[in-house]
Amino acid sequence: METTRQQIADQLRASPATAAELGAALSLPPSTVYEHLKHVAQSVDGDESVLVSPPTCRDCGFDGFDDRINAPSRCPACRCERVAEPTFVIR
């Protein structure tokens, strides 16, 4: 039986996913998935890396968020709360 972090890594090797998608597949809240993702990013093999498509504001397109692993609650540029989650993949 695989650990939760191994399951997350396996899913990210197969296809890109957001924390919400991973959480739904593994019956975990997104906040827990974000904690696991930080550890997965540190523990992937030397040949692989975790790539992150940053969160993006759906109104103004801002994508320069400081923390690319967490989903921000609002855009610092326009203060909009319509921010798309970051997407993760292992390549």
- Contacts of 50 by beta carbon, 8 Å cutoff, 6+ apart: 12, 37, 40, 41, 44, 88, 89, 90
Contact 90, 44 (CB under 8 A): yes
How many domains is the chain built from?
A: 1
Which pLDDT score is estimated for 30? 94
Domain hosting 82: range is 4-90
Q: Please give the torsion angle defined by the CA atoms of residues 84, 11, 40 and 65, in that order, rounded to the nearest 10 degrees.
A: -10
Give the Cα separation of 8 and 5 in Å (integer): 5
Sign of CA dihedral 1, 31, 84, 37: negative
Instruction: Write the CATH number for 81.
Output: 1.10.10
Report pLDDT digits (tens) over 11-66. 999 999 999 999 999 999 999 999 999 999 999 988 999 999 999 999 999 999 98
